[in-house]
Chains A and B, each alone.
Chain A
Amino acid sequence: MSNTSRSTETPARGVLDAAGKLNLAYWMRLTRTLDDAIMAMWKQGRGVGGTFSGRGHEAIAVGAGYAMGPHDVVAPMHRDLGCYLVRGMSPERIVANQLGKADGVTRGRDANLHGLGDLSLNILGFVSHLPQSMPAALGAAMAFQYRQEPRVALTFVGDGSSNTGLFHETLNLAAVQQAPFIVVVENNQYAYSTPLREQMAIDDIVIRASAHGVAGHIVDGNDVAAVYEAVSAAAARARRGYGPSLIEAKTMRMLGHAIHDGAEYVPRRLLEDWERRDPVVRWEAKLLEEGSLSGEMLQRLHAECREEVDMAIQQAERAPLPDPSDVASGVYAP
């Protein structure tokens, strides 16, 4: 099962059939395997600069990405490795980008997961100034409205950026325009080191949607089927012209803000609690339990993901670095 041969289309949108369930298991395991491998490389000193882990966010990134059709646009961020993968960006291009290689997505221009945009895959790259992808995705949605195309744009933000003015400005504008726009708020409890209780005086970020006339839902962000179903419903709604949705996916950031950060400020017990709800393990256990997946199939799936990731890393490490004489190319479109 290669990354590129997997279809991101499910036969019946919003309803997971047996193949769909296995696809989600594959994409989540691939995401986790690649994430683990990247963390290991950086700890071994084989990385360049810093990098980010999306550990704990796999169900959100994969579930939301998988719910979107191939013509829909996604604007993921640094916790959404699984969304890039499920939308067809190869692990090799992603690792090559992280290593600053010439054939990385940004040709050595942008760091780690930043800037992983590719219009041929309908993926918009993000900037550090979150939630800048929010108005960009909204603008894509407004372009679909303008051209009367049945497409949807989806983006991700964190609890941290849900406090910005831009978050509110964008929700308001999306509602006024009734745009086919979805924002998934990955509420992972911490904005860098700042816990929710120091960020906001509300328990649920979703209430910020109702303030602006945007449909809002809370989902268990560690349950990939729940994320998939909620995003599918929001997309169907948007496609029918009923406007934007906000989906608050509750989860936990299982590692630090970035590779350098040991996250000592997070109580261990909190992490232990969330570890028991690990989205990747949980989905595999569910499929085993209901018989959609045998132990042997699962072993094979893990082995395939490891092989795919190992090969991607080998190729990316062998790839050439960019030529410094090329440093100024591409600032402007010709």
Chain B
Amino acid sequence: MSEPRQLTYLEAIAEALVVEMDRDPDVLLIGNDIGGSFGGAFKVTKPAAERFGPGRVKNMPMTELAFVGAANGMALMGLRPVVEVQFADFISTAFDSIVQYAATTHYRWGASIPWVIRAPSDGGIRSGPFHSQNPEAWFVHTPGLKVVAPATPADAKGLLLASIRDDNPVIYFEAKPLYRSLRGPVAEGDEALPLGRAQIVRSGTDISIITYGSMLHEVTRAATEVAEDGISAEVVDLRTLKPLDTDAILQSVTKTGRALIVHAANRMAGVGAEIAALVADEAFGDLDAPVRRLGGMDIPIPFSPPLEDAYRVSAARIAETTREMARW
């Protein structure tokens, strides 16, 4: 068998869009600057724009609240719009259309809203307070939404295909620092990965490090580093944040007896808090150490390199915390 192709994280997302638009005429893309020869601020939609043209890759005026609201109506009519908000930071401008309308509709009157919002998120690339955010916790807190956060090119493709095919509103957080920096094997074809399943990226016995998105790669580096000190860390990549794969989390923590949760988003009331509470509720008797969380500081995301580095979780901090926990 030949080696699978290597694609960047960005190419994998772009390919998923083209594959699904080829397969399903109900899929169309809307967003700011995504169409024409420009093809998006990050060029994710460029291959789709070139292949399908302005009828299916539609530029929108700068009206996120209205065009996400329009995606609600398109989806109610059976289309599967994939909306790009240019930066995840701007998703707040569309908040009502997401959390009030889309998230509640199926519960209230039984109609499906099968859209996907692609939200380029995350920082570490000196983009300042308004182009670096990780707002996933807002949406994990909202019943009726699904939230996906892939960390690898293969997952980015497989989970985007699944998100588009899902009959619910799905917010798909792309880790933009990985767009061009991360390359990995990606299968050809149109096979989706299931939503709601975490993956054990690295097996271990002493501690479970639970993470998602760009932080997976910091965690993996830290796990390699602490292995030299004889600490065997198991790395759990959540992949989907809602629904959360609680079984995978509890299985791992029950095995290792220690849980460290790491995310790029600020720690306060973040996804890690929910996981820590889950572990406390369901696996307290199996714990050998207090549950710890690492996340961004509870401040707006600063711009200047030394400030952003101080804000952001690093592999070194993860390794240090892992060692502390292993000593318990």
Contact residues of A with B, CB < 8 Å?
Answer: 73, 105-107, 109-110, 114-119, 124-125, 127-129, 132, 134-144, 146, 153, 165-166, 169-170, 172-173, 176, 330-334
CB-based contact A129/B101 at 8 Å? yes
Residues of chain A within 8 A of B133, CB atoms compared? none
Instruction: Give bound CA distance, A70 to B111, whole Å.
Output: 19
Partner of A333, one of B69, B106, B108: B106
CB-based contact A135/B107 at 8 Å? no
Instruction: Give bound CA distance, A184 to B138, whole Å.
Output: 33
Residues of chain A within 8 A of B75, CB atoms compared? 139
Question: What is the minimal beta-carbon distance from A142 to any residue of chain B, in angstroms?
Answer: 6
Question: What is the minimal beta-carbon distance from A131 to any residue of chain B, in angstroms?
Answer: 9
CB-based contact B69/A140 at 8 Å? no
Known: A170-B66, A173-B63. 16 other contacts (CB 8 A): A106-B108, A114-B108, A125-B105, A129-B101, A135-B65, A136-B70, A136-B76, A136-B101, A138-B66, A139-B72, A139-B76, A140-B76, A144-B77, A146-B55, A165-B65, A166-B96
Instruction: Give bound CA distance, A150 to B76, whole Å.
Output: 17
Instruction: Give bound CA distance, A334 to B71, whole Å.
Output: 20
B115 and chain A: residue at smallest CB distance: A139
Residue B199 at the chain A interface, CB threshold 8 Å:
no
Instruction: Give bound CA distance, A73 to B73, whole Å.
Output: 10
Instruction: Give bound CA distance, A88 to B167, whole Å.
Output: 27
Question: What is the minimal beta-carbon distance from B56 to any residue of chain A, in angstroms?
Answer: 8
CB-based contact B100/A139 at 8 Å? no
Partner of B96, one of A115, A129, A140, A142: A129
Contact residues of B with A, CB < 8 Å?
Answer: 28, 55, 60-61, 63, 65-79, 81, 96-97, 100-101, 104-112, 114, 143-144, 146, 167-168
Instruction: Give bound CA distance, A275 to B25, whole Å.
Output: 53
A142-B107 CB under 8 A given contacts A135-B67, A331-B144: no
* Contact residues of B: prevailing secondary structure: helix
Partner of B74, one of A114, A117, A134, A143: A143
9 sample A-B contacts, Cβ–Cβ < 8 Å, listed by A number: A117-B108, A125-B111, A127-B104, A136-B76, A142-B74, A144-B77, A166-B69, A170-B63, A170-B66
A173-B109 CB under 8 A given contacts A135-B67, A139-B71, A142-B74: no
Instruction: Give bound CA distance, A125 to B72, whole Å.
Output: 12
CB-based contact A119/B76 at 8 Å? yes
Count A/B pairs, Cβ under 8 Å.
Answer: 134
Question: What is the minimal beta-carbon distance from B106 to any residue of chain A, in angstroms?
Answer: 5
CB-based contact A331/B143 at 8 Å? yes
CB-based contact A153/B73 at 8 Å? yes
Residues of chain A within 8 A of B73, CB atoms compared? 124, 135-143, 153
Instruction: Give bound CA distance, A129 to B99, whole Å.
Output: 11
A170 and chain B: residue at smallest CB distance: B66
A155 and chain B: residue at smallest CB distance: B73
CB-based contact B96/A143 at 8 Å? no
Question: What is the minimal beta-carbon distance from B256 to any residue of chain A, in angstroms?
Answer: 31
CB-based contact B67/A173 at 8 Å? yes
Partner of B109, one of A73, A125, A332: A125
CB-based contact B106/A331 at 8 Å? yes
Q: Which of A114, A116, A136, A331 has the most CB of B within 10 A?
A: A136
**Nearest 8 pairs between A and B by C-beta?**
A139-B73, A135-B69, A139-B70, A169-B66, A143-B77, A333-B167, A115-B108, A169-B63
Question: What is the minimal beta-carbon distance from B147 to any residue of chain A, in angstroms?
Answer: 13
Residues of chain B within 8 A of A109, CB atoms compared? 107-109
B109 and chain A: residue at smallest CB distance: A117
A138-B69 CB under 8 A given contacts A125-B109, A132-B96, A172-B61: yes
A330-B110 CB under 8 A given contacts A139-B74, A139-B75: yes
Q: Which of B68, B73, B106 has the most CB of A within 10 A?
A: B73
CB-based contact A134/B101 at 8 Å? no
Residues of chain A within 8 A of B108, CB atoms compared? 106, 109-110, 114-115, 117, 125
CB-based contact B144/A138 at 8 Å? no
Instruction: Give bound CA distance, A114 to B108, whole Å.
Output: 9
A329 and chain B: residue at smallest CB distance: B107
Instruction: Give bound CA distance, A119 to B112, whole Å.
Output: 10
Residues of chain A within 8 A of B81, CB atoms compared? 139
CB-based contact B28/A135 at 8 Å? no
Question: What is the minimal beta-carbon distance from B113 to any residue of chain A, in angstroms?
Answer: 8
Partner of A135, one of B72, B77, B111, B146: B72
Residues of chain A within 8 A of B96, CB atoms compared? 129, 132, 166
Q: Which of B60, B68, B72, B78 has the most CB of A within 10 A?
A: B72
Instruction: Give bound CA distance, A127 to B73, whole Å.
Output: 13
A132-B106 CB under 8 A given contacts A124-B76, A334-B167: no
CB-based contact A132/B97 at 8 Å? yes
CB-based contact A146/B79 at 8 Å? yes
Residues of chain B within 8 A of A116, CB atoms compared? 109
